[in-house]
Structure 1
Amino acid sequence: MQKKIWASLDPFVEGGNILGRKVANANFLISLLKNNPFDEYHFFLPSKQQIQYVKNFIQKNFEILSSKIKIFSRVQLWSRVQNTNYFCFHLSDCISYFPYLASFRNKVAKNNFPITGTTHSLSYKNFIHAYFSHLWTDWIGNEAIIATSFSGKKVLKNFYAHLSQNYKLEAKYLPPKIVNIPLGIPDIYFSHQDKKNLRKKYNLPLNDPIFIYVGRISHYSKMDILPLLRALSQAQIIIGKPLHLILAGYVDIEQHNLNTIKNLAQNTKINIHLFPNLKEITKIELLQTSDIFLSLSDNIQETFGLSILEAKASKLAIIASHFDGYKELLHHKVDSFLIPIFSPSNDPLLSEIASLLFDNQTHLLVAQQTSFDFSTLVQTIVTLYTNKSLRKKISQKAFEDAHNYKWDNIIQQYFNLWEKLQNVKIPKNKNSHPLNFDFFQIFSHYPTKTIDSSTKIKTSKLGYKIIQKKDFPVIYPLLENFLDLDKIEDILTFFLTPHQIIDYTKTQKSISQIYKTKFSIFWMIKQGFIEIIS
C-alpha cells in the first residue's frame, strides 16, 4: 500500500519573540503531528540552523514520531520529488514559494501532488510581486491558498483585480483557488486557574474589574494605544474611580512610544500594568486575571485576529473594532461589542509614495487615518464595567463559541481539503512559470563560448590521476546533491577516448540521471579533469 506522505518547504517553528504568525504556524504543526494522519512527514529546509531547530523541536515534543519525520536539505527536493509520491505539500505562507513550487512540480515531480499555503499579513508593499506571480495560465486545479478570514480572501481578490486591470492581462491569467479555514486555539487556553490567586501572583487588584490588551505594542504595526487610553480616561470620569489596564505583548524598539503611553496614563490616573515581551504562559495567565478584553485594531497589517480567539477561550467580555477578520470572529451584542471603524475611501498620494517608504511607515500613515467611533467606545466601556451580569453573559457566549476554533476541529478542515484536492482531475502540464528563467540563456553573452550536448570532450591528465586514485576531487557542500559521485570514475574512463557529451548522457535512463551526469561533466571541465576539444 502506498504511503501517505505530507511535505513542506517550511519549518513552522521559529525562535524569537512571540508574534501572531509564529504562534499560528507552531500551533498548526503541533496539531498536525498530534493528530498524526500521515505515514511520514518530510521537511525540506534551506539552512542547517533551521534543520537543527526543527530536529530539536521534534525530539522535545514528538520523539515518538521521530521515525516518521524526515528532515532534508532544500537542495534535496528535486531528487526526492522525482522518486516519491507525495500526498500534498503545505506551505506556512502563500507568498514565498507557492507558484514556483507548482511550476517545479509540473516539470519534475513523480506525481502532481496538491499544494496549499496559508495567509498571514497581506499588506506589505513588496508582496504585490508575489500576488503578480499568482496570476498564471498553468495552475492544474489542485492548488489552494488558505485564507484565514473572508476579509483576507477579499484582499487577495482586490490585489488580483488591481494587477489584472492595470497590466491589462488576458482572462486566462488566473490566481489559484482560495478557500477559507480559520486559525485555531490550543486547548491550554480553555483550562482556567483561580482568578484571585493569579491576581495575587501578578500583584493586581483583587476585586476591581481589569481591562487587558494583548498584542504587539507598536503604533507602527498594530493598534495605536493612545486613542484607547483617551477613551478609557473619558470612561473613568463617568465611572468615578481609577481603571486598571494590563498591556501585554511584544514591544518594538520605539521606546519613546512606551514613555508616551506611561506619561498619558499618569496624567489620566489610569493604572497601567505593563508586561512587555512576555512568555506564552504568562500571557495565558494574565488573560485569566482579567474581565474585559480591548482590541481596537486599526492596522491593515492585521488579517485574522488570533488574540480575539485567545480572549474568547479565556472567557472575557470583549470590546473590539468592527474591522478585518475581527468582525468574522465576533457577534455584536451576543459574544462581544463591536465598535464601528472609519477610514478614507482612498489616498492617491500615499499610493505613490508607499513604494519609497518602509512598510511600517506606510502602515502608520494608513492607521493614523483610520479611527473608531469614540463616543460609542466610551459608552461601551462604561456599560461593561458597571454591568457585571452583562459581562458574564457575553463572556460565556464567547467561551462557548471559542470551542469551534479548537485546533483539533480546525486541523480536520485541512485534512478534508487535502483529500478533496486529491480528487481533482488534473490536466497534463509541463509549462514553467514565466517568472522562472534560465540563467545561462539570460547571461549567454557573458562567456566566450557555450557548451552543449554536441561538444566534444576528453579526459585530461588530471582526470586520469583521479582514475588511478593518485588525486581526489574536493566536493563543496551542496554539490553532493547535484553531482553523480558514483559515476565520476566511470565518466572519466568513458571519455579517455574523445566523445561528444551526448554519447554518454544518452545512456542514462531518467531525467534526474541525465541532469546529474551533465552537471558532473560541466563540473569536471571546471576542475580540469576533462578538456574540451576545439
Structure 2
Amino acid sequence: MRRAALLYHPDGFTTAGGPMLGRRVAGEEFLRGLLRHGDIAELRALVQSPEHGAAFARHVAELAPGLAASAHGFDAPDRFDGAGTIFLPGAGMASYAWWRRRHRQNAFSLCGVTHTTATDRTMDAIGDLLVAPLQPWDALVCTSRAVQGMVRRLLEEHAAYLGQRFGATEVVGPALPIIPLGVDTAAYDQSEGARARWRESLGIGVEEVAVLVMGRLSLATKFTPGPMYLALEEAARGAAQRVHLILAGYFEAPRDRTIFLEGAAALCPSVTVHHVDATADPARREIWAAADLFTLPIDNIQETFGLAPVEAMAAGLPVVVTDWDGFRDTVGHGVHGFRVPTVMGGSGADLALRYAAGMDGYGNYLVGASLGVAMDVRAAAEAFATLIGNAERRRAMGAAARAHARATYDWAAVIPQYLRLFDALAKVRAEGAEQAPPRPGREPVPLRPDPLRAFAGYPTATLTPETRFVLAPGAGPQLLAARAGAPGTVSRGSLLPSMPTLTAMLARLAQGSATAAELAGPAPAAEAGRAVRGLMWMAKYDLVRRQP
C-alpha cells in the first residue's frame, strides 16, 4: 500500500453544485477510481482553506470510510515530503512548482493533467511550464495523442521564442506521458426494465431506432449540430423504421435551445427529437438504456479527449463520432462504431488576434475556429444508415465496445498507469539533478519575493541580527497585554509569536539592551520564523525601542 497526495478544490473533484463539465466529471471519477484501485493507505490533500480541507475530509469519508486522510495548507510543504507525487487536476503547474521551490525541489513530484487546452489561461499555463521551475521528475499527463501533439507544438513555439529572446540553447519542460481518462464501467450496466421504462416514457416503439447524444448541448463549446441533422435526415429517409434522436444534457445558453431544437425541426424533419435533462441521476446513468447507438460529431477545439463516447461504449452502445482528437484513440473504426472523416482549413490568425486582444470572448473564438472544420456529412449518413438498418451489427459493435471500454478505460486499468508513472517519476527524482537550483542569497521565487527584502529601500533603516533594542519606559507584561488587547493592534495574530515568547523578550530587555538575534534566538522552534516579527510589532507599539 502507498501514500498519495493531490491538490483538492471541490470545483475540481465534484459535479455537485455546478455545471456538468467534463473536467469535473473526470476529477470526480479519478478520485473515486484512485481510492478504489490505487491500493492507498493514506491520502493527503493540499488545500487553500480550512473549508476546502473539511470538504476533502467529508468527500474521502464518503468514498472510503476509515481511510487515513489529512489536509494541509500551502504553509506546510514538508507534510508532503513522503507523499511521492502531488496530483494536480489541471494543466496549471507553474505556481505549484514555485511553491515547492521555496521548500525543496526534489521533495516530491508534481503531476498535472490536460483537459481543454483551447483557453488563453490554459495556453499561458502550458507556456509557463518552460519558465517555471518544473523538474525532470514532473509530468503533465496528456489524455490523447492529439492533445499531446498540440501541447508539444505550443511548447516548441514558445521555446523557440525564448531561445531567440534570451539565447537559451535548451528549454526543458515536464514529461508528457499519455494516459486516458477513465470511467467506472460497471456504473453503466443498466438495471432490468430501464430500457422499456425510458422508451415508453419517450414514446419510442420496440422496433424503432433511437440515437443518443449525451453531454453539454452547446454550439460554442461542444459541437455544431447542423451537419449531424443533415446526416441523420438522409439516413432516416432510407430507413425501414422510425428514427428518434435523444438530446440528453443541458443547454449551456438560451440560444442553444433554439439552435438544437429548432435546427433539428428544420434540418431533419424525418427524425423525432426528444430532449432529456440528464444532468442528474437517474437520467444521467439510465438514459443510455433507451438508445440503440450513440453519436457525438465534435468539430470544436475545446474537446481534447471526449469522455462521453467511452461512457457510451461502457453502456454497450456502438458509436458514430467524428475522426477528431481523442476519439481517434478511443474508438476503433468499424469495430466499436464509425469515425467520420473531418477536414480543417484556412487561416485562424484573425481569430487568435481577436481573442488575444479581448475583442472576442472564448465562446466566439471557439465558434470561429469551428467554421474552419467540416465533417463528411455523406460518410456520417452512411454510418448512421448502416447501424440504423442492421440490428445485428449494432449488437456486435456494442458488445465489442463494452469489452473495449472495460479492458482499456475502466479505472481498474487507468489508475495503475498513473501509479507506474508516479513510480517512474520517483526514480528520476532519486537519480536526477535539479534544473536551475536555488542560489544562496537569491530569491527562490524572483517575481514573488520576500516583501521585507524587496522593499528594503523604503524605510530609514533595516533590521539586522546585530540591531540592538532596549526596553521602553514602563513596558512589561501588563502594558503588553493592554496594547495587544486594544482594537486593531493585532490584526494578523497567527503571524506573531505567542504572548509567552513576547513576554520573555521583554524580561530579557529588563536586564539590559540586547541584539535582535539574542532576543529571537530562545523562541520555540515552532515560532522561529515569527520571533523577529513579534519584536518589530513591539517596536511598532513602543514596548521596545531600537538603540541608536
TM-score after normalising by structure 2: 0.86
Separation in 1, partners of 2:55, 2:459: 41
Query: Any conservation in 2 of the 1:85–1:110 contact (CA below 8 Å)?
Result: no
Offset of residue 33 of structure 1: 1.9
Q: Deviations over 1:83-102 (max 9, x none)?
A: x533321111121xx23333
Distance 1:418 1:446, change over 3 A: same
Offset of residue 17 of structure 1: 2.4
> Which residue does the alignment assign to 2:531?
517
Q: Indicate the SS of the match to 1:216.
A: strand
Matched ranges for 1:325-364 at <5 A: 325-344=326-345, 346-355=347-356, 356=358, 357-364=360-367
> Which residue does the alignment assign to 2:187?
189
Q: Deviations over 1:157-191 (max 9, x none)?
A: 11111112233251332111111111111143342
Query: Any conservation in 2 of the 1:463–1:492 contact (CA below 8 Å)?
Result: yes
Query: Any conservation in 2 of the 1:5–1:88 contact (CA below 8 Å)?
Result: no
Distance 1:452 1:426, change over 3 A: farther
Distance 1:157 1:295, change over 3 A: same
Distance 1:368 1:529, change over 3 A: farther
Separation in 2, partners of 1:31, 1:490: 53
Code of the residue aligned with 1:416 in structure 2: it is R
Separation in 2, partners of 1:153, 1:22: 21
Matched ranges for 1:287-306 at <5 A: 287-306=288-307
Code of the residue aligned with 1:150 in structure 2: it is R
Confirm whether residue 272 of structure 1 aligns to residue 273 of structure 2.
yes
Separation in 2, partners of 1:124, 1:280: 30
Q: Deviations over 1:50-100 (max 9, x none)?
A: 2333233233333322xx11123x24424645xx533321111121xx233
Offset of residue 452 of structure 1: 4.4
Query: Any conservation in 1 of the 2:209–2:241 contact (CA below 8 Å)?
Result: no
Q: Deviations over 1:446-495 (max 9, x none)?
A: 55654444444445469624577556458979752x43336333334344
> Which residue does the alignment assign to 2:83?
86
Query: Any conservation in 2 of the 1:17–1:277 contact (CA below 8 Å)?
Result: no
> Which residue does the alignment assign to 1:178?
176
> Which residue does the alignment assign to 2:143?
148
Separation in 1, partners of 2:141, 2:281: 26
Code of the residue aligned with 1:346 in structure 2: it is S
Matched ranges for 1:45-56 at <5 A: 45-56=47-58
Separation in 2, partners of 1:93, 1:287: 29
Separation in 2, partners of 1:50, 1:490: 37
Q: Deviations over 1:132-155 (max 9, x none)?
A: 321148544211111111222112
Separation in 2, partners of 1:225, 1:448: 68
> Which residue does the alignment assign to 1:427?
433
Matched ranges for 1:134-533 at <5 A: 134-136=129-131, 138-167=133-162, 168=164, 170-194=168-192, 196-200=195-199, 202-207=201-206, 208-239=208-239, 242-252=242-252, 254-267=253-266, 268-269=268-269, 270-276=271-277, 278-344=279-345, 346-355=347-356, 356=358, 357-403=360-406, 404-424=408-428, 425-427=431-433, 429-430=437-438, 432-444=444-456, 450-460=462-472, 464-465=476-477, 469=481, 472=484, 480=494, 482-485=495-498, 487-496=501-510, 497-505=512-520, 514-526=528-540, 529-533=543-547
Segments of structure 1 that go 5 or more residues without pairing to the other structure are none
Distance 1:377 1:58, change over 3 A: same
Number of equivalenced pairs:
522
Q: Indicate the SS of the match to 1:248.
A: strand
Code of the residue aligned with 2:5 in structure 1: it is A
Separation in 2, partners of 1:217, 1:37: 37
Code of the residue aligned with 1:484 in structure 2: it is P
Query: Any conservation in 1 of the 2:477–2:503 contact (CA below 8 Å)?
Result: no
Separation in 2, partners of 1:290, 1:48: 44
> Which residue does the alignment assign to 1:100?
95
Query: Any conservation in 2 of the 1:18–1:277 contact (CA below 8 Å)?
Result: no
Confirm whether residue 6 of structure 1 aligns to residue 17 of structure 2.
no
Query: Any conservation in 2 of the 1:86–1:111 contact (CA below 8 Å)?
Result: no
Q: Indicate the SS of the match to 2:66.
A: helix
Query: Any conservation in 2 of the 1:100–1:433 contact (CA below 8 Å)?
Result: no
Separation in 1, partners of 2:410, 2:132: 37
What value does the CA root-mean-square deviation take over the aligned residues?
Answer: 3.0
Separation in 1, partners of 2:326, 2:502: 57
Segments of structure 2 that go 5 or more residues without pairing to the other structure are none
Offset of residue 235 of structure 1: 2.4
Query: Any conservation in 1 of the 2:98–2:132 contact (CA below 8 Å)?
Result: no
Q: Structure 2 residue aligned with 1:25, among 24, 27, 38?
A: 27
Distance 1:340 1:30, change over 3 A: same
Code of the residue aligned with 2:205 in structure 1: it is L
Offset of residue 32 of structure 1: 1.7
Query: Any conservation in 2 of the 1:7–1:43 contact (CA below 8 Å)?
Result: yes
Separation in 2, partners of 1:85, 1:327: 38
Offset of residue 365 of structure 1: 0.9
Code of the residue aligned with 1:518 in structure 2: it is V
Distance 1:36 1:184, change over 3 A: closer
Greater shift, 56-65 or 25-34, is seen at 56-65
Q: Indicate the SS of the match to 1:211.
A: strand
Query: Any conservation in 1 of the 2:97–2:133 contact (CA below 8 Å)?
Result: no
Separation in 2, partners of 1:36, 1:477: 44
Q: Deviations over 1:234-266 (max 9, x none)?
A: 3222336652111112321x2122123222333
Distance 1:279 1:479, change over 3 A: farther
Distance 1:453 1:123, change over 3 A: farther
Query: Any conservation in 2 of the 1:199–1:206 contact (CA below 8 Å)?
Result: no
Query: Any conservation in 2 of the 1:44–1:77 contact (CA below 8 Å)?
Result: no
Query: Any conservation in 1 of the 2:180–2:414 contact (CA below 8 Å)?
Result: yes
Query: Any conservation in 1 of the 2:101–2:133 contact (CA below 8 Å)?
Result: no
> Which residue does the alignment assign to 2:69?
69
Separation in 1, partners of 2:342, 2:115: 22
> Which residue does the alignment assign to 1:59?
61
Q: Deviations over 1:275-328 (max 9, x none)?
A: 235214412211121111111111111111111110110111100011111101
Separation in 2, partners of 1:447, 1:478: 22
Distance 1:500 1:295, change over 3 A: same
Percent identity over paired residues: 20
Separation in 2, partners of 1:222, 1:470: 63
Matched ranges for 1:100-119 at <5 A: 100-109=95-104, 112-119=107-114
Distance 1:347 1:471, change over 3 A: closer
